[in-house]
Structure 1
Amino acid sequence: MAANDLPRPDFARNMTLIGHSDIGGRGDGLQLMVHKGYAYIGHPWSQGFSIVDVRDARNPKTVNYVQAPANTWNIHLQAHGDLLLVINALDLFADVETFTDEKIYYTQSVGDTVAGSRGRRAWTAGMSVFDISTPDKPREIGRLDVEGVGFHRLWYVGGRYAYASALLDGFTDYIFVTIDMANPQKPELAGRWWLPGMNRAGAETPTWGEGRRFALHHALVHGDTAYACWRDGGLTLLDIADHANPKLIRHLNWSPPYGGGTHSPLPLPGRDLLVVADEAVLDNEEDGRKHTWMFDIRVPENPVSISTFPIPHEIDYVKKGGHFGPHNLHENRPGSFQSETLIFATWQNAGIRAFDISDPYHPVETGALVPAAPRAMTDRRPGRPRVIQSADVFVDTAGLIYATDYNAGLEIIEYKG
């Protein structure tokens, strides 16, 4: 797309939009990985995933689309080496009768909500493994199938093990599982861990009350510790030295009084710090003001919150419509930009943000870009506002920022901070 055709951002400070793609007409993007010059993008409404050649960042080209299995979505994925891992799960947003009101998705246990679907199971649940030695031509070489709704999000950076949030039959919602990747053609579940009350098949009873979800969004792993975010269930640090039997180090939950949605962890092991973002999940801050928290984890058994990130304030984003608040963080993956002082985040209707945490007690915003409103709506849920909802962010080794949106495609941004 020529520079003069780029959508003009609503706001920019120390960031410049240099490239944009409508992802081949599938503008809905969720998680993305940039790997060997190609962006792999999962779709929440178009199902499947797309591949965009971003070797020329000013001229991204959509080069492939891989259709999901029937009634299945591939919203999250991980790329490392010559492997691409893609989740398979029931396409929850296709069930317009159940999830027309997004509040149902975010405030009720998904396992209970879709329990009636299990007698007519017609989706693929688990994970597919693709060979991407030819980056634009993924070839499926393995699959892990599970009984249940399926996987939600993955963490894989090489080695023998991958990690996932999985909704298995018998559980109220997504739990933590470890996956043995010794043979990528035949990955196997190795271990599992859940918060007490989630195992209905084991006669456990939920204790968290109506209107809340105790559900693992995902975990990031460093060494033998998994840092896991459980939506309204808060944060756990898990010892995974024994991958078959994870053990709890500490569980913290600040909801209530805060509004839950604990979503994205980012350990900074060189500084004994942990960043945790609570996702804004309802329009116009109906679920309350959400924060990105800084924790001191020098004593893993006693994480201490020491600050929160500043809140975007150029305009009244609450009145703008849609979700206003944190969503995802750039995750310092091997082969990407890595920093323990510069944090990149998506803030939904407030776009993409950069923060300097050199002083962890006083995070400072150092850059921002709020993309233009989407030109077309791919989100099929009725009544959704036509505003930006920046979803995921990835920063490559050259410092270029890649960001997805639920409708507006792929943005490629230079950081000038």
Structure 2
Amino acid sequence: MNQSVVAPESAKNMTPQGHHDLNGKMGIQVMVANGHAYIGHAFDGGVSVVDVRDPRAPRLVNTLPIHKNSWSIHLQTHGDLMLVIEEFNFKAVFTQAEYYARSIDGINSADFGVRGEDYSAGMRVYDISQPSEPRPIGFMPVEGLGLHRIWWVGDRYAYASAILDGFTDHIFIVIDMQDPTRPREVGRWWIPGMWADGGETHDFKGRVGLHHAVISGDTAYGCWRDGGLTLLDIADKSQPKLISHLNWSPPFAGGTHSALPLPDRDLLVVADEAVLNIDEEPFKHTWMIDIRVPEKPVQIATFPVPDDQDYFAKGGHFGPHNLHENRPGSFQSSTTIFATYQNAGIRVFDISNPFRPVETGYFVPAPPAVWNEARRGRKKVIHTCDVFVEKDGLVYLTDYDAGLHIVQWDGA
């Protein structure tokens, strides 16, 4: 069901334009290209294609399939191509607490059946020259349970987190996209201790696995959940090298999820994901990090905690999730940061003074007309997940239950 405009729960400097409930599917990553939003899903599987050429009347025009035991939660678009991850649906066998509590030691793909028959694992390439009709043209299978998230901006190489047989969790891999019909892995890196089949051992606390890395120049900025932040030199794609590793968990709660490099200012924004209800874990932070000396990154500030209402009392997940990543062709700024905060919607921050980030706007979606989230064991509150911002300040938000919201940033 499409609803053109839904009044928000609260808003500042952001005006609603349009909304689509995605037919109740759980919205995860969103990319916008050629007037269409491409949205990955978790439990519901596949990818939704929404025509957003009229942002006040978004239309669901296609859905792409995925194996019933896998998910396609993350994707990337550039030009006429789209890359979509395919990974075993871990949350079909793990509770939320189990999934985030520890590394997935001892699990190999054979534990879940025959890859390619009982689940799909790898990366699929689509031709999106006809935006509403993506056409599969390539697939890169992996010997493991699949990819989690990708970074690709149209050049020769893509970068992904992959859980491969013999490793304790997701590691960093480099993918050669020279022939999009035959992508291939050409390099990999992991935190020492993760290669169990190579005889490595570890004493990791919590879950240590790569969520994803964002690339700037020859540096990959990787977030490793409870394993912290790494800066990798990727000038040689076949042999990434560690520049530095910074981990603030403990004493902080970890869940390091998303990094946004701002190379013109020698700064890095890093969000730690809230993965449990706020009464079950400490509040997670979004950090400002000084990277003038890449070998020694230094935390210099945290973003202010949203306080226009009592989000602690509201319950559910309260805290950071994703950042708008300044992709080529999208809204780009080294001072204005868009970040999703789950039960607190989307927040906008001014980091002109990196030592004192200031909140300048927000949009908190209204609860959906129909709840599907109860079957996933979460409290019935909105959980804003991902954000993509176009050059003109048009903001696309996904929510686990509230669908796709399109809003205009009025603070530029």
Please report the TM-score for the alignment, with normalisation by the length of structure 1: 0.95
- Tell me if structure 2 keeps the 8 A contact 1:347–1:353: yes
Q: Does 1:287 align with 2:281?
A: yes
1:76 to 74, 77, 81: 74
Q: Does 1:46 align with 2:44?
A: yes
Give the 5 Å matches for 1:192-203: 192-203=188-199
- Tell me if structure 2 keeps the 8 A contact 1:157–1:334: yes
- Tell me if structure 2 keeps the 8 A contact 1:27–1:410: no
1:343-374 deviation per Cα after TM superposition (whole angstroms, max 9, x unaligned) = 00100000000001111111100000110112
- Tell me if structure 2 keeps the 8 A contact 1:394–1:401: yes
Distance (Å, rounded) in 2 between the aligned partners of 1:105 and 1:416: 38
Q: Show the counterpart of 1:147.
A: 143
2:271 to 273, 277, 280: 277
Q: CA deviation at 1:379?
A: 3.8
SS at match of 2:232: strand
2:307 to 286, 306, 313: 313
Q: Show the counterpart of 1:168.
A: 164
Distance (Å, rounded) in 2 between the aligned partners of 1:255 and 1:143: 36
Q: CA deviation at 1:112?
A: 3.5
Give the 5 Å matches for 1:296-335: 296-335=290-329
Q: CA deviation at 1:286?
A: 2.0
Q: Show the counterpart of 1:109.
A: 103
- Tell me if structure 2 keeps the 8 A contact 1:45–1:379: no
Distance (Å, rounded) in 2 between the aligned partners of 1:129 and 1:403: 24
Q: Show the counterpart of 2:410.
A: 416
Distance (Å, rounded) in 1 between the aligned partners of 2:5 and 2:351: 31
Q: Does 1:394 align with 2:377?
A: no
Distance (Å, rounded) in 1 between the aligned partners of 2:344 and 2:187: 38
Distance (Å, rounded) in 2 between the aligned partners of 1:18 and 1:194: 43
SS at match of 1:30: strand
Q: CA deviation at 1:207?
A: 1.3
Q: Show the counterpart of 1:8.
A: 7
**Which residue identity is paired with 1:91?**
N
**Which residue identity is paired with 2:338?**
F
Q: Show the counterpart of 1:63.
A: 61
Distance (Å, rounded) in 1 between the aligned partners of 2:2 and 2:268: 40
- Tell me if structure 1 keeps the 8 A contact 2:288–2:300: yes
User: Quick one: structure 1 residues 285 and 259, their matched pair in 2 at CA, closer, same or farther if it must change by over 3 Å?
Assistant: farther
Q: CA deviation at 1:6?
A: 3.1
Identity %: 59
- Tell me if structure 1 keeps the 8 A contact 2:161–2:170: yes
- Tell me if structure 1 keeps the 8 A contact 2:257–2:272: yes
1:287-311 deviation per Cα after TM superposition (whole angstroms, max 9, x unaligned) = 2111000011111111111111100
1:131-188 deviation per Cα after TM superposition (whole angstroms, max 9, x unaligned) = 0111111011100000111000000001110000000000010000000111110000
1:211-253 deviation per Cα after TM superposition (whole angstroms, max 9, x unaligned) = x100000000011000000000000000000001000000000
1:78-130 deviation per Cα after TM superposition (whole angstroms, max 9, x unaligned) = 0001110000100122x2xx32x310011122354676724554111110000
Q: Show the counterpart of 1:263.
A: 257
**Which residue identity is paired with 1:128?**
R
Q: CA deviation at 1:385?
A: 1.4
- Tell me if structure 1 keeps the 8 A contact 2:150–2:212: yes
SS at match of 2:244: strand
Q: Does 1:356 align with 2:346?
A: no
Q: Does 1:178 align with 2:174?
A: yes
SS at match of 2:169: coil
- Tell me if structure 2 keeps the 8 A contact 1:45–1:380: no
Q: Show the counterpart of 1:375.
A: 369
Q: Does 1:242 align with 2:231?
A: no
Distance (Å, rounded) in 2 between the aligned partners of 1:51 and 1:204: 43
**Which residue identity is paired with 1:27?**
K
**Which residue identity is paired with 2:306?**
P
SS at match of 1:403: strand
Q: CA deviation at 1:67?
A: 1.1
**Which residue identity is paired with 2:42?**
P
Please report the TM-score for the alignment, with normalisation by the length of structure 2: 0.96
- Tell me if structure 1 keeps the 8 A contact 2:265–2:334: yes
- Tell me if structure 1 keeps the 8 A contact 2:320–2:339: yes
2:397 to 390, 403, 413: 403
- Tell me if structure 2 keeps the 8 A contact 1:27–1:405: no
SS at match of 2:278: helix
**Which residue identity is paired with 2:280?**
E
**Which residue identity is paired with 1:56?**
D
Q: Does 1:92 align with 2:86?
A: no
Distance (Å, rounded) in 2 between the aligned partners of 1:37 and 1:7: 21
- Tell me if structure 2 keeps the 8 A contact 1:111–1:149: no
Q: CA deviation at 1:21?
A: 0.5
Instruction: Give the aligned CA root-mean-square deviation in angstroms.
Output: 1.6
Query: Where do 5+ consecutive residues of structure 2 fail to align?
Result: none
SS at match of 1:282: coil
Query: Where do 5+ consecutive residues of structure 1 fail to align?
Result: none
**Which residue identity is paired with 2:138?**
G
- Tell me if structure 1 keeps the 8 A contact 2:244–2:295: yes
Distance (Å, rounded) in 1 between the aligned partners of 2:404 and 2:108: 32
1:34 to 25, 28, 32: 32
SS at match of 1:315: coil
Distance (Å, rounded) in 2 between the aligned partners of 1:213 and 1:21: 34
**Which residue identity is paired with 1:303?**
P
Distance (Å, rounded) in 2 between the aligned partners of 1:251 and 1:384: 33
